[in-house]
Structure 1
Amino acid sequence: MLDSLAVTCFHPGMEAGLDNPFWSSLQTRHRALALQQGDVARYPPEFAPFLGVADAGAEVDDALAALVAPDDSVLLLGIAPQRVPGGWQLEAFADLAQMPCTRPLEVIDGPEVIELSGAHREDVLALTALVYPHYFRPRTMELGRYFGIYQDGRLAAMIGERLGTGTTREASAICTHPDFNGRGYARRLTAMLTNGLLARGHLPFLHVSRENRRALRLYEQIGYRHRRDIGFWSLRRAR
């Protein structure tokens, strides 16, 4: 399931790509999924509503028209185009905290952690709909490995992998059903996935809203460090 604990030595070059996570992932780890036109690439909508641009100065007019349907919207992280064509609305959200982890974490005792599969899809979609209703799509689970804790026949908490490059992996969809808050499930899952990624030689990282103070404190306490605040935008195409 999750890999055995190991210590990996990291160097600054391993963080390459973290400043432009969607684009970097679509050029490497998820290149086979990328819908791309020139310097613009996106995930298929059934996987994720994410779009990346190679750099802020990229010419995006024709690419956006080809990749984003009328009345649809996508999300950008790290880099947004300096200029968008008429009929498009680029809205800036509050920056997210980007946090990597370079050392193994303490795994607290708790219930069994299982790897989630297609057989658990409906439970996963139901749980993420409570916490991440705009980000988790029907095929998001195919972007990486996902793990969960079941209690009383219900999916109580989960975590997964999403973005990444050859040297990095993003811990994502870290959530607990409100009925099971306060039991340390998110901490247990985060530590186990983090240690498994380190054992594989990958640099784990995650993104968290600064308004989510509880989660931010948890990640800081267990060993994640603040790397930078990273820009986050919505880009919508009018009809």
Structure 2
Amino acid sequence: MHAERELSVSDRILRSRSEIPADPPAGDYVVVDVTHFSTTVTELLGNGAAYVHVTDERGDEFEFQEEVPEALIGGGKTDDYEPHEGYDFFNSPSYVQRFDVTDTPTAMTSKNGGAAVTTLSDRGSEDIDVFVGGYTNAVAVAEYLRERDAPTFVVAAGSRGEETTDDLLGAVLIDRYLRERPLTADERAHFVALLEAAKGPGYAEKHEVRRKDLHEYATAINARDVVPHLDGDRLVRARDR
């Protein structure tokens, strides 16, 4: 029996990053920030980026780019959904499609998913491995982790330390695949509808970039086979082991 199946649902799913223990138990941790950190990271690596360096704080990307001049860096956005001055992109799976990132270093963070990754890195030990997952790579992450002899914890990043419906949906979806309970066609459509509903009716009035982020990327269940894995301070594609 795989280790993650021996945990209760309340043990294996952390409902927000504020639930990350001060001394996390050994195991594999999947950070879920569906809209949009998990999806953006998965797109960058899926499009061939060398890695995604996760900075400790927003603004640290500039120092990283000084050290790695060829890097593309992500930060905040303007009201017109363009990157803030000095940045190449922002946290958007659709916006990053504008770049050929093949073999290119990238760097970014986010106040929820990125912060969860660095929190686990700071509090963890060599007995902890950190991954990133969402709707788009749920089955890839689950299949990879099922082959590992470690308990799996799924961290729904949430917002400002509070739980959010979209990240809990992503966590539940990954947990389904971890327990080898794939979605039926009807359930798949339902998970898409739930994620769209979780963002609220006002989302239809948002900028085209955000509408694409949600409807063309974040809801694309299992569209990617990418398993982002934290190696030091970089998210890279996990390799078979």
Question: As a proportion of its length, which structure holds more helix?
Answer: 2
The structure having more radius of gyration, on CA atoms, is 1
* TM-score, length basis structure 1: 0.28
* TM-score, length basis structure 2: 0.28
Question: As a proportion of its length, which structure holds more strand?
Answer: 1
